[in-house]
Structure 1
């Protein structure tokens, strides 16, 4: 006995979503930002060594403990946030992805500028 009233099953499609040039560009930009974040997180905190020449009573800004903590911690925090922004920017296809990929290096550059300004003063 054949069941003529069987439900039709939709065909299985074996198509992968196409990868466009903008997807590749977004991924390459995200990987570059991740490298920049890694370099920032590893090497920017070494600017605290600018305080090596501090002596007792030195009035330079880098000679205070609070400034040393900012110079050491700010780049690490900025690198972490920038890495998150880069991953979100690479994985999303929305308009906000480009904003994330633009904000991440801006955050890293800002952390370098602030740390260098504090270490140099």
Structure 2
């Protein structure tokens, strides 16, 4: 007896992770974010020198002790956290979850926010 039906082909499974960009591109983005964090941590606290023009009784936020502490400390903390987020984002790029991309997107947002807050206090 001859069977005219061909055996069913085995299903094809693609277990490879989805392509999320080349390793060189991820490395380059990570280096840029780390450089941005470094520049923020080194130079943004120098905005405290904007208080040199303050005089006794000056009501500007920059002339208060709290304002100077925010302008000096916020960029340092933001740079540290952004560097941690960048490293965590780069380390998790091989996983299927979107947590790595969220870390890489949160890092520059945090740095920009620290610059905006510091410049707003200095300019007020």
RMSD, aligned α-carbons: 1.2
Output aligned runs, 1:1-121, within 5 Å.
Answer: 21-92=21-92, 93-94=94-95, 95-121=98-124
SS at match of 2:22: helix
Distance 1:67 1:55 in 2: 15
Question: Which structure 1 residue ranges, 4+ long, deviate > 4 Å from structure 2?
Answer: none
Q: Which residue of 2 aligns with 1:16?
A: none
CA deviations 1:64-93 (Å, max 9, x no partner) are 001100000000000000000000111112
Distance 1:26 1:113 in 2: 27
Count matched residues.
102
Give 1:24 deviation, angstroms.
2.2
Structure 1 length-normalised TM: 0.80
Alpha carbons 1:26, 1:89 under 8 Å: kept: no
Structure 2 length-normalised TM: 0.79
Distance 1:90 1:39 in 2: 20
